[in-house]
Amino acid sequence: LKFVETGLDPGFRLFITALPHPEFPLGLLQMSTKVTNEPPAGLQAGILRSYTVLVDQDRLERVDGPMWRQLLFGLCFLHSIVQERRKFGSLGWCIPYEYNTGDITACILFLEKHLYNGPISWQTFQYMVADVQYGGKI
């Protein structure tokens, strides 16, 4: 209310990010507009989101050769499958984990740097993606 008295612009909006906490004012939460960012439903929508959010034309042209684009698609496909699998809950997983764009971004950066250094080591690539990045959270 003090803001209204001081002549604050009525178009002003405040965005708050908060974790659940017992001392967070319930009244503020109830009168606020809640915004969430959920991953898209469906495998095709997940791949499309990966390509629209993470992969742009500049990233596609950074590494020469057809292997880069094929492996990039494979990573986006894997990430979409893992995200789509969440609807089954923790069945087959030790602990539930929310995979997000940070996971696929780390894999893409690893692949990009690995391809810059010459021929790809499949054992290293498989270990880093399957065991460390995605399997390390299972």
Answering whether pTM is above 0.75, one says: no
| Distance between CA atoms of residues 78 and 75, nearest Å | 5
DSSP string, 4-34: HHTT--TT----------TTS-HHHHHHSPP
Answer yes or no: are the C-beta atoms of 75 and 103 closer than 8 Å: no
Among residues 101, 106, 55, the alpha carbon closest in space to that of 80 is found at 101
pLDDT in tens, the chain (138 residues): 565 667 777 787 777 777 778 888 888 878 888 777 666 678 888 888 888 888 888 888 888 877 888 999 999 999 888 888 777 766 556 666 777 888 899 999 999 888 888 788 889 888 888 888 887 665
Torsion angle, alpha carbons of 83, 93, 131, 128, to 10? 20
Query: Beta-strand (E) ranges in the chain?
Result: none
Structure tokens belonging to residue 57: 């034309």
Answer yes or no: are the C-beta atoms of 105 and 50 closer than 8 Å: no
